[in-house]
Chains A and B, each alone.
Chain A
Amino acid sequence: MKILVPVKRVPDPATTIRVLPDGSGIATDNVKWVINPFDEIAIEEALRIKEKQGGEVVLVAVGQQTWQEQLRTGLAMGADRAILVRSEAALDTLAIARLLAKIAEEQKPDIIILGKQAIDDDSNQVGQMLAEMLGWPQATFASKVEFQDRKCTVVREVDGGLETVAFDLPAIVTTDLRLNEPRYASLPGIMKARKKELKEIPADSLGVDLTPKLKIKKLDPPPKRQAGRKVASVEELVQVLHNEAKVI
């Protein structure tokens, strides 16, 4: 089975994010960059499928040269090769989905596994757009993926429960948190990673309209946390919760 896994570079969830004073973006000095955690789950799932049934795991990212770092990490986890679609400009989800659709047409994977969303902008759109563009079935928020010949069964995490769907390949799956626990890149994996193929393609060579349809106007940091307040007794606490906070 040939599996395509799109990968995004995002700030480490453990970093404290600071919004630039003019609200145009985040301060990137001192930020550590990692693979989007949901994409890491997607890579892990792809590797498990490959280990069971053979095949190839191909990573693809749309971004700048620095994104090689995340692709190499994925290669060190065990993916076979990687494609970096080079774009210096930040693109919106629609342009990304269009570029990925092009790559999919060229690579002809049996399945594309993506993170359900990126933890930076939380868009939750690319997988769905890609399914529409390719005309493939999709199963989002997967917590379990199984195969029988060319049929795929996915358990989805939906509000308040689970939904099981089945469809034919090729298809799109987006991963939820409980799908698996991604492996660490091992030392032998790291040593092999640098010998694996990492191909760069300029984004503007793919004949796709990259004009943004969406513009980020402003980012606002969450309000500063107010200092807490000590109360003297349980009685006072109940009073305050009732009369001031009005939560009970």
Chain B
Amino acid sequence: MSQEFDSEQSLIESFVRRLAAKYDRRYWLQCAKTGQPLDALWRELGKAGFLGAMAPEQYGGSGVSLTRLAILMEQLGNHGIPPLLLVVSVMGAVAIAKHGTEEQKRRYLPPLADGSERFCFAITEPDAGSNSFRIRSLARRDGDHYVLNGQKVFISGVDQSEHMLVVARTIAADSASDKREGMSLFIVDTNAPGLTAHRMDTQILMPEGQFQLFFDEVKIPRANLVGEEGKALRAMFDALNPERITAAAMGVGIGRYALSKAVEYARTRKVFNTPIGAHQGLAHPMAIAKTELEMASLMTHRAAEVFDAGGDAGMYANMAKYAAGETAAKTVDLAIQVHGGSGFMGETDVITLWPLARLMRTAPISREMILNYIGEHVLGLPRSY
């Protein structure tokens, strides 16, 4: 990897180290426990230009670089303060920057970049998670508007966002000749009349909650259609890779944070006459975790670089997400094991990491669907579904 990259990475590292001295894990936990947004942290990220990492400079951004954003996300994770909203908001930023109209770019990118307005992302429906083509939310044309009806589930951070990038059908699935036809992308304000949001009972300690959404005759101006009507697939897939890559970065970060806690504990805790870290039964799994975390990190950077260079990042993005998801979950499990019974106490703050780390195997895309992708698109195997 180039020296330039190393030097920027270390600068982003020192930025986050300073930021995390002020907005530390206690701050993050406080927000997580009370369901409050990471407002102050978000403002600093905006002020320092990091939220504009996916927006061109003429729209208030810092020039498009997923690599820098991924490094930022990873570093925030390293300190135990990852904002999930960064993963979902990248979808809005990429879709608008790459496929939005001039007017949309001017309206939405500057506030997104300075942190004054946030984006969540809504695709999942009760009957369409892994199989997104089965979504039923339907937007019908009505003069200069679309009218949207439908339901979404598991949508993160709705209460913390001003806008939402919504995937909906403009041709119902059963009338489309090809299931890929008729998928469209819309920008919807989270306070739009007819849209109601109910907090779901997801049991994950993090500042962003999940919401079930009902769209009841929600009017969307035609100007809020992103990309071509019915042909959103391209725009969606363009935005899905960055989502996977930032999610991978988050997984690596959470894993590193958990491992650092495990190492610290193993260095000091004595059960027989040496610190427990001297026992290979714990030292080797920790060494393996470290190795796997660094492998996942390299894969994540590679994926981001390919995306930035305009290449097809699909293979790397999926592999990075797989590697990071697996190692995040395994490492937190290990950190709990290293802590013995204390691992289950709130005060050691390791069991608290488990649901979030474990989520990395399920969302934004499950490990099975990633492996399906690699089987089919990388290895050329036939598909089962």
Interface of A with B (CB < 8 Å)?
A: 12, 14, 32, 34, 69, 72-73, 76, 184-191, 193-194
Contact = CB atoms under 8 A, between A and B. Distances in A.
Contacts of B47: 184, 186
Contacts of B52: 187
Contacts of B175: none
26 contacts: A14-B17, A32-B17, A34-B14, A69-B10, A69-B14, A73-B14, A76-B15, A184-B15, A184-B18, A184-B19, A184-B44, A184-B47, A184-B48, A185-B11, A185-B14, A185-B15, A186-B48, A186-B49, A186-B50, A186-B62, A187-B12, A188-B63, A190-B68, A191-B8, A193-B7, A193-B11
Contacts of A73: 11, 14
Contacts of A12: 17
Q: Which 9 A-B pairs have the closest CB atoms?
A: A187-B49, A186-B48, A186-B49, A190-B11, A187-B62, A184-B48, A188-B49, A187-B50, A76-B11
Contact of B48 (A14, A32, A185, A194): A185
B347 interface: no
A186 B14 CA distance: 11
Nearest to A14: B21
B23 to A, nearest CB: 11
Nearest to A13: B21
Interface string B33-49: 00000000000100111
Interface residues of B, number: 22
A194 B8 contact: yes
B49 A72 contact: no
Contacts of B18: 34, 184
B61 to A, nearest CB: 9
Contacts of A185: 11, 14-15, 48
A72 B17 contact: no
A187 B68 contact: yes
Contacts of B262: none
A194 B21 CA distance: 25
B53 interface: yes
B178 interface: no
B182 to A, nearest CB: 38
B144 interface: no
A89 to B, nearest CB: 24
B103 interface: no
B4 interface: yes
Interface of B: 4, 7-8, 10-12, 14-15, 17-19, 21, 44, 47-50, 52-53, 62-63, 68
State the main secondary structure of chain A at its contact with B: helix
A14 B21 CA distance: 8
A186 B51 CA distance: 11
Nearest to A190: B11
Nearest to B5: A194
A193 B7 CA distance: 9
A127 to B, nearest CB: 24
A185 to B, nearest CB: 5
Contacts of B14: 34, 69, 73, 185
A76 B13 CA distance: 12
Nearest to B49: A187
B19 A190 contact: no
A190 B9 CA distance: 9
Contacts of A32: 17
A76 B44 CA distance: 16
Given A72-B10, A185-B11, 12 more contacts: A32-B17, A34-B17, A69-B7, A72-B7, A184-B15, A185-B14, A186-B49, A187-B48, A187-B53, A190-B15, A193-B7, A193-B11
Contacts of B12: 187, 190
Contact of B63 (A14, A34, A186, A191): A191
Nearest to B19: A184
B112 to A, nearest CB: 14
Nearest to B263: A30
A83 B11 CA distance: 18
Contacts of A189: 49
A164 B52 CA distance: 43
Contacts of A69: 7, 10, 14
A34 B20 CA distance: 14
Nearest to A68: B7
- Output the residue of B8, B18, B47 with the most chain A CB within 10 A: B18
Most buried by B among A76, A187, A188, A191: A187
Most buried by A among B11, B21, B48, B68: B11
Nearest to B10: A69
Nearest to B3: A194
B4 to A, nearest CB: 6
A72 B10 CA distance: 9
A234 B169 CA distance: 70
B4 A194 contact: yes
Residue picked from A72, A184, A185, A189, most chain B C-beta under 10 Å: A184
A29 B160 CA distance: 41
Contacts of A76: 11, 15
A9 to B, nearest CB: 11
Contacts of B62: 186-188, 191
Contacts of B68: 187, 190
Contacts of A187: 12, 48-50, 52-53, 62, 68
Contacts of B63: 188, 191
B338 to A, nearest CB: 17
A103 to B, nearest CB: 23
Contacts of A34: 14, 17-18
A188 B51 CA distance: 11
A59 B8 CA distance: 19
A172 to B, nearest CB: 26
Contacts of A184: 15, 18-19, 44, 47-48
